[in-house]
Amino acid sequence: MNKKTVKQVERRLLQKMMEDEKALKEMLAVETDGIPYGQLDGLMVKVEQLLGRIMISQNKLMLLQDMQ
């Protein structure tokens, strides 16, 4: 297995994860005091999407590491 390619893929996945984590932190920092949860569906969906993307990236990294 080409170690240089593996390192580049890992670096790319980690970069995407960091970007998604930053966006997730921003979403979770949104002030929601006084807003009924029924009106926060869009925010909840976006948070769940970001969590899913982070989870998928983690799974890809683990699979890549297992293949080495």
Q: What is the pLDDT of residues 34-64, one digit of tens each?
A: 888 889 999 999 999 999 999 999 999 999 9
Name the residue with higher pLDDT: 2 or 61. Answer: 61
> How many H helices and E strands in the chain?
2, 0
Unique residue bearing structure tokens 């170690």: 3
Whole-angstrom Cα distance, residue 16 to residue 68? 21
Handedness of CA 62, 24, 22, 8 (dihedral sign): positive
Unique residue bearing structure tokens 């983690």: 58
Q: What is the pLDDT of residues 8-41, one digit of tens each?
A: 999 999 999 999 999 999 999 988 888 888 899 9
